[in-house]
Structure 1
Amino acid sequence: MNPESTSNNSSSAGPATPNNSRKERGAIAAQACESCRQRKQRCSEERPKCATCQRMNLECKYREPQPTKKDKTLVEILERLKNLEGNLRNLDGKVDSLSSRGTLPLSIYGPLHTNPPPVALDASRSSAWPAGNIHLQTPASPRDVQYVSATHKMLSWPFIQQILENKNPNTDLPRLEKDGAAMLLGLQGRPATLPRSMYDPVNLSSEGTTIPLQVASGSQVEGMQASGLSMTWETMQRLSKSYFDTFNLIYPIMDRQLFQTEVLPAIASHGFDESSSSTLACLVFALGEVAMSAVQGAPITSYKGRPSGIRGGTLERPPGLLFFNEARKRMGFNLTECSLENVQMFALAAIYHGTCCHHLEFWRLTTSASLACQALLTSNPEELTTHRGDLVRRAFWHCSIMETCLNMELNIPRTGLDKLETLVGLPDFSGSFSEEDYLGNQASHFQEHFASQIVLRRLSVEFHTTLTNAFGPTHLPVEPPISSAAIMMKQMAAQLDQWRGLLPVYLRWEEDNPGTFSSPPEELYDDQSMYPPPVPDLRSNFMFTADLDSSPVSYPYAVDIQAASLRTRYYYVKYLVYRPFIFKALHHPEQVTQDDAEGVAECLKAVLKWPITMSPTCFHKRLIPCLFFWTQNLLGILLILHLTQQVPILIRIRTSLMGAKFDQDANETVMLCIEWIRDLKDTDPTALWCWEILKGIYPLGDDT
């Protein structure tokens, strides 16, 4: 991310300048037509006819590309998705069948009574987990177990409410239960929107607040001079490369080759206008500046000498704001276009708001991106058959993944975009690509990461739907066999394990060691002359570490963000699948069986040392998708781990089933989660709200 190195490595696809006389090699052609292939000349790859065939009036035909080894791996991942979906449909069919016959619980563990009588269970199991002296001051829940995905819904469990009321009487639990999503999205301890100017508002009059982007003669694109920034060709190259080497690998929704060969040269020649291309360019530049600041920028705060993971800019003036405001001024002109650019525009604006911890705006713009995607596919489904069809698919699945996060964590209804999944199909990255993207994929495997995220998203949606229909708090209880729920949840966990086991070897990791490298670290980078392996001692074989005081490793191409996001989402889904067993242990300990206890143990294993909370990822928080999503879940994990040292039945499960290493891992997990929330509490109002809850539960030192 060094400015000099990024500038030198930038593509030179733009116009030649007085200082740029050497002609460098252009982007690699993804697929030349037959005529250009026979002539052994470069093909422009235009469809239906390339430039050469148009000029010479030749027939232009493209052969089907032969997949490379990595392409074959991507195809295999997508094929595995189809197999897993078939297994899920079979599982869901069994659930529907059992439910229709009255043999599957909508309440898992038997008939419900106001005061549950002793249940006749296997003697060895019932005696193994006696209830202990646990008494709630509030009545028991109207069902033996509940499934909820949102953390604020978990805080409404009677046992959790009692703990919070005793430890922190100021917690507004009634409001949280009623308006949880609105409360968490709307917590704003600062102005509700980002400032519209880089200048202090008190010094601005109503006129003169607009700083136009203009083009000067020669090689310099001038504008925003009052802020000390001039837009040269090198600056545009550096910012765009920064974006495409980070954010576009995490969210691969933009075409680097098109941007570098068409958008940038047009801006350099004619300046910025009100078109969607100029709007997208401003957003790319804004996120490019965020990407550089997230790694190289000065930390906003520090705690006992440890720098914050929020770097660059200030709380009020985040990095990239100048470019983002230029994009905001132009977005209205493109508001109702039914185009791919319209989807990209909303998606990138949402991502930028997410990097600034403005969650309400992130939600609204994410929803706008989904609606724009629906409008595009409804009004022009033929777009999927064009040369940009795969890019449309990638944008579609990006919107679907973001929607799923909001739906599962905040119970925000989905827009209906998921109904188009069959129409859209799966992306395979078959469109045009540049040499930089090839290098980026060699180093980070971002294509396989994105495909694997799609698979995991589909699994989580199916699990969530099945568990909500069967055990959601709004469903009436039905008397079932006790074993049905445990069997179903074990089947879901087996599907998750299958997903992890079928990952390519360079994405896979050890189940009990989420911080390890997938492959030998020296093999992660094929081009070691440009991107050498990390500096730290590679013999440890750990990509992530709980040691937050050592200097964090710097990985190119946001490798740590991609790996940490994929792994943490896996553990998050497993945590949700097993969390209903925690509910039962807290509210109906006298009915806990050996299967239940093992379910509690699996839930506890799933919350340990999430890679996203570890170094180096936690020091690059502006790059992490959906910050508030993780913050709230870490609060839930801290509450559960606290209860494992307070509630007799959880204490017994912890000591008898978790193994000798659990205490150390649990202590490190508590430390990581607390440090995550501590780091964000001065920047993110949602984290501050979580911090206030934790004050009465954990000793937080002198930082109150």
Structure 2
Amino acid sequence: MDDSSSPASQTQSTSALAQSLRKERGAIAAQACDTCRSRKQKCDEQRPKCGTCQKFKLECNYREPLPTKKDKTLVEILERIKSLEGKIDSLSGLQGNLPYNPQESGAFSSDTPLAVSTAFHHGHSLSNSSFQPAEAAEPPSASSSGGEDHYLYVSSVHQMLRWPAIQQLLAMVQPKVPSLDLSSVTRDGPIITLGAHHDSLQGLPTGTVSVPHGQGSLHCMDNSAHASLINLSGLDWETMQNLSKAYFDCINLVFPVLDRQHFLSNTLSSLFTNGFGNDMQSTIAFLVFALGEVAIAGSEGLPVHAHNGRPSGIKGGSKEQPPGLDMFNEARKRMGFNLTECSLENVQIFALASIYYGTCFYPMDFWRMITLASLACQALITSSPDELSSPRADLIRRAFWHCSIMETCLNLELEFPLTGLDKMETFVGLPDFSGPYSEDDHISNQESHFQEHFASQIVLRRLLVTFHDTLNNSAPTSAFAPVPNSHDSASPGSGVNPSTIRQLALQLDQWRGMLPAPLRWEEDSPGAFPNTNPAAYSETLYSPGGPPISPMIPIIQASNSTTAPPLMFTTDLDAPPMRYPYGLDIQVALLRSRYYYTKYLIHRPFLYKALHAPDFMTKEDAVGVAECLKASLKWPVAMSPTCRHKRLVPCLFFFSQNFLGILILLHLTTTVPILIGIRASLCGERFDMDARETIGLYVDWLRDLKSVDNAARWHWELAKVIYELDE
């Protein structure tokens, strides 16, 4: 009997027809202007004014596109953070600004002389004033007793090195460091701290390392369709797949700028069948292969050196011949052919090239490439705004925010100028990881939560920009205002006062509390497992015996212990490192370290006051100093296992500079009386032990990098003399 006329069959047919009609229905205007929305009519979405607004000469405003339903995590994060908007405008005045009496806390006597100059006042310019010894300085005037004039906010380490108290320390150690020039630190701060002043600074070699011939050799097709065998005959189909998997299982989870499914299904098979040309797909493929080789060698390659039997955390290749160089050089040969293309592939090429330069310890090249990626992104959005409603819109947004995060890092720490990308934030919108979704990405997201990490990094970056604007006295109108293109590091802002900093710290703590459950951790336990529940993580995945990030990486034998480790990160650099697939430890370490960096940064004005105006310190100031010092301790990026594969850590120079600054400040807490008292009375019982471990971690970081990183070499020379260390 034919049951096609049955009610159930009719219901299914009706449902299928409705679904078909929905698929064929044209796209609804997702970015209709406010005028058309209020009139409930179709908007042609023209920019800067739609047809209706042009016709009636009305103001045309577009709302920020809302994320799709798939992006529930990002929506939740952003909605919670946006609830903090408007609070910055109300930050004024001082609360609870009671005088700080060291005798009440039993820290030290109030008449203890300070070991450094206390005369520096905000009326002077750091960049224009010459350093004076302490005995030649004048004490602060009584008219400054309000205390607010003694705070100074600077965002970079090289600016902090200009503080008179630190200049005095540098003057004391200068005879032991012939390469240290105080005037050059003041004049050429970013260049000095990047090590770009070294005569030996050179770019990556252009020569290609020969690869032994093997089966399945590939052919490179030039534009004339003439085939020639390239010197990469070992790049067979299996190798291409393994390198691609290593890239997508590690690096693309930290920098999600490529679509795994499209690359593996379309790009890879097409290139293997038709050969490599000078097109953008071939360029991207070689960059993926190069970074895949970095992912493998950077995790499991041979250490470049050892110190007292401890293997280096820099693995694979050398400074002159880093992993993946032959693949990268093949990509470099082709990049010029597509230099001015206004396409997503153009953005991806420059972004991937910048990542590779970062893994090879070339910060200036990294900056140049990320700048080109940002400019290419602006060109794409400006010339083809309709791309933001195309199937590739989410990839564009992911590339956009990757560039934005990197630009913010470079601007705040090195004062490198912004490209203007930040002005497009509202128009571009937020990524939601929509589109074709591969099974491998689903598994990696289940294990590492890389989408939530990326979304949380975006929000943290926005908060950091707001904090920077507020403390820099730029008076932003929104909690998500862009970083100014330039700022005067020597000029104090009226926004720098205890009340403001307290409110900013509260917002930062709220951000941490609003993180998705798998990303949360306890404030005073930076090395703990997320959500303080190691049992929630698979013992087979999160152990030395867990699966490798690539089939080409051998599995490390598990230790005798059968229980999950109590901590995700450890300060014991001699213990066998744990293994976390999908770059989980890097993602977690980055998020937490950037959180502690932000907290350390916004509290640093209290340290300036303690060093230069101790007579006007209040109890609240002392608490702020303690918070700054505690936030500088044990950043997970410097702990094991993350520090054991440094090639895979983004923006190494950013952390190296901050580790030097923290080492200097921790040294001053043992020599400056007021800091000694605050450390003893307000930093807690664990501080001394944590500080010792922190010094050990940061010193080891600089010592490990000094042979391959010009910036770390300069940092190491200074830290070595201050702490009287052996080579």
Q: Which one of 190, 193, 196 corresponds to residue 203 of structure 2?
A: 193
1:181 and 2:194 correspond: no
**1:162 paired residue number:** 168
Pair 1:511–1:472, CA change in 2 (3 A): farther
- The Cα offsets for residues 182-205 of structure 1, whole Å up to 9 and x where unpaired, read as 3334245645210001359xxxxx
- The Cα offsets for residues 132-184 of structure 1, whole Å up to 9 and x where unpaired, read as 20154585233512100100100000000001110224421211222212333
Deviation (angstroms), 1:514: 0.5
**1:377 paired residue number:** 381
**Aligned 8 A contact 2:471 2:493 in 1:** no
Deviation (angstroms), 1:413: 1.5
2:630 counterpart letter in structure 1: K
Give the TM-score taking structure 1 as reference length.
0.80
Pair 1:123–1:688, CA change in 2 (3 A): closer
- The Cα offsets for residues 248-294 of structure 1, whole Å up to 9 and x where unpaired, read as 00000100000011101110111111111110000000000000001
2:373 counterpart letter in structure 1: A
Pair 1:222–1:91, CA change in 2 (3 A): farther
Deviation (angstroms), 1:696: 2.0
**2:479 paired residue number:** none
Deviation (angstroms), 1:692: 1.1
For 2:290 and 2:263, locate their aligned partners in 1 and report how far apart those are by CA, in whole Å: 15
2:220 counterpart letter in structure 1: Q
**2:314 paired residue number:** 310
Three-state SS of the structure 2 residue aligned to 1:84 is helix
Three-state SS of the structure 1 residue aligned to 2:722 is coil
**Aligned 8 A contact 2:359 2:647 in 1:** yes
1:79 and 2:91 correspond: no
**Aligned 8 A contact 2:119 2:612 in 1:** no
1:323 and 2:291 correspond: no
After superposition, residues 139-150 of structure 1 pair within 5 angstroms as: 139-142=119-122, 143-150=149-156
1:419 and 2:423 correspond: yes
1:700 and 2:720 correspond: no
Three-state SS of the structure 1 residue aligned to 2:86 is helix
For 1:237 and 1:425, locate their aligned partners in 2 and report how far apart those are by CA, in whole Å: 33
For 1:550 and 1:246, locate their aligned partners in 2 and report how far apart those are by CA, in whole Å: 23
**1:587 paired residue number:** 612
1:90 counterpart letter in structure 2: G
Three-state SS of the structure 2 residue aligned to 1:214 is strand
For 1:123 and 1:181, locate their aligned partners in 2 and report how far apart those are by CA, in whole Å: 36
Q: Which one of 615, 625, 630 corresponds to residue 640 of structure 2?
A: 615
| Identity of matched residues, % | 51
1:389 counterpart letter in structure 2: A
1:602 and 2:627 correspond: yes
For 2:619 and 2:71, locate their aligned partners in 1 and report how far apart those are by CA, in whole Å: 41
For 1:63 and 1:386, locate their aligned partners in 2 and report how far apart those are by CA, in whole Å: 11
For 1:319 and 1:139, locate their aligned partners in 2 and report how far apart those are by CA, in whole Å: 52
Deviation (angstroms), 1:58: 12
Three-state SS of the structure 2 residue aligned to 1:246 is helix
2:292 counterpart letter in structure 1: G
**1:541 paired residue number:** 566
- Give me the CA root mean square deviation: 3.2
**Aligned 8 A contact 1:126 1:593 in 2:** no
1:363 and 2:372 correspond: no
**Aligned 8 A contact 1:146 1:472 in 2:** no
1:574 and 2:554 correspond: no
Q: Which runs of 5+ in 2 are unaligned?
A: 1-11, 29-67, 123-148, 211-216, 222-226, 475-486, 549-555
Three-state SS of the structure 1 residue aligned to 2:278 is coil
Deviation (angstroms), 1:431: 1.7
Pair 1:284–1:428, CA change in 2 (3 A): same
1:332 and 2:345 correspond: no
For 2:675 and 2:239, locate their aligned partners in 1 and report how far apart those are by CA, in whole Å: 57
**2:491 paired residue number:** 475
Q: Which one of 73, 86, 89 corresponds to residue 90 of structure 1?
A: 86
1:147 counterpart letter in structure 2: Y
**1:673 paired residue number:** 698
**2:456 paired residue number:** 452
1:341 and 2:345 correspond: yes
**Aligned 8 A contact 2:74 2:432 in 1:** no
Pair 1:676–1:222, CA change in 2 (3 A): farther
Count matched residues: 607
1:465 and 2:469 correspond: yes
For 2:645 and 2:632, locate their aligned partners in 1 and report how far apart those are by CA, in whole Å: 21
After superposition, residues 525-540 of structure 1 pair within 5 angstroms as: 525=538, 535=558, 537=561, 538-540=563-565
1:645 counterpart letter in structure 2: T
**Aligned 8 A contact 2:596 2:631 in 1:** yes
Pair 1:187–1:350, CA change in 2 (3 A): farther
Pair 1:132–1:62, CA change in 2 (3 A): farther
- The Cα offsets for residues 45-102 of structure 1, whole Å up to 9 and x where unpaired, read as xxxx9xxx9xxx99746999xxxxxx97952443332442342x4133225xx5xxxx
For 1:165 and 1:338, locate their aligned partners in 2 and report how far apart those are by CA, in whole Å: 51
Give the TM-score taking structure 2 as reference length.
0.78
For 1:589 and 1:451, locate their aligned partners in 2 and report how far apart those are by CA, in whole Å: 41
Pair 1:131–1:363, CA change in 2 (3 A): farther
For 2:582 and 2:199, locate their aligned partners in 1 and report how far apart those are by CA, in whole Å: 34
- The Cα offsets for residues 518-555 of structure 1, whole Å up to 9 and x where unpaired, read as 15345335996995699465454200000000111111
**1:29 paired residue number:** none
Pair 1:196–1:486, CA change in 2 (3 A): same
For 2:499 and 2:614, locate their aligned partners in 1 and report how far apart those are by CA, in whole Å: 20
Q: Which one of 393, 410, 422 corresponds to residue 414 of structure 2?
A: 410
For 1:311 and 1:123, locate their aligned partners in 2 and report how far apart those are by CA, in whole Å: 50
2:456 counterpart letter in structure 1: S
For 2:658 and 2:498, locate their aligned partners in 1 and report how far apart those are by CA, in whole Å: 23
Deviation (angstroms), 1:319: 0.4
**Aligned 8 A contact 2:73 2:452 in 1:** no
For 2:467 and 2:432, locate their aligned partners in 1 and report how far apart those are by CA, in whole Å: 25
1:515 and 2:512 correspond: no
- The Cα offsets for residues 325-380 of structure 1, whole Å up to 9 and x where unpaired, read as 00000000110011110100000000000000011100011111111111111111
For 1:306 and 1:192, locate their aligned partners in 2 and report how far apart those are by CA, in whole Å: 29
**1:628 paired residue number:** 653
